Structures are given as structure tokens and as C-alpha cells.
Amino acid sequence: MSQYQSAVSEVFRNNENVEAFMSTVGGAQAATLGGPNFGQLLVKLKPRAQRKLLVNDVIAELRPKLENFPGMQVYLQNPPTVRRKRRSSTKPRRSCWQRFKRFPDFRTLPAIC
């Protein structure tokens, strides 16, 4: 598996838009995903000012180069950027608390005979 992944990683090494990448094969995280038959490459592209293509265009350029490796299925993904909305004000946040009874009050239930 590592020989196959080395061949795939050469495609990324030779691409002018890639700044760095990390390649892993198997491992504890891959135990449920295929064990030693699972590999992962994490790719870091150059900053946008230093490359000609957008991220999705880089993926479209690499996809045909990666689909012809025997014994390998390569999936390229562009995960969405996670944005967190932060408040810059010092106003206290309003919150509403409600109390729910977890257990019924057995004294109010009718007696079961």
C-alpha cells in the first residue's frame, strides 16, 4: 500500500500549486476504514497570490492524473471553511432557562390497586 501511495504522492510533489503535503497509510484511525489498506494525503496549497488556479480548479486539474492508478481509488475533497461568529460587544447575552421535572411527582398520581 505504501508503494502505491508513494506513486500517488509524486503527482502532488510535481504540482506547482502544492506547497506541502503529508501522507499516511493505515494507523489507528484507519482501523474502521480499511486498516492497512487505507491511506490519506493532506495537501496544503500555496497562498492564493502565489498560484494561478482556485482550489476547485486545482482539484479538477489533478483528478484525471489520479484516476489511472491500478489498485487505488483516489478521492479529492475541498472541505468547507468553518466560520465561527464571534461577538465583539460586552453586552451580556440574554438567555432563558426553563426547569423540567425529570421524574413525576408520585403523590399526585392516582393510586393503582
Per-residue pLDDT tens for 24-52?
Answer: 877 665 555 666 677 788 889 999 999 99
Q: Say how many domains are in the chain.
A: 1
d(CA 77, CA 99): 44
Task: Give the residue-averaged pLDDT of 63-77.
Answer: 84
| Local structure of 107: helix, strand or coil | coil
Question: In terms of pTM, does the model score above 0.85?
Answer: no
| Local structure of 35: helix, strand or coil | helix
Cα four-point dihedral sign 52, 56, 60, 66: positive
| Residue 60 pLDDT > 90 | yes
Band the pLDDT of 101: cuts 50, 70, 90. Answer: low
The verdict on residue 24 lying in a domain is yes
Look up residue 50 and give its three cell numbers.
502565489
Band the pLDDT of 77: cuts 50, 70, 90. Answer: confident
Domain interval for residue 33 = 2-66
Distance of CA 84 to the CA centre of its chain: 17
The verdict on residue 82 lying in a domain is no
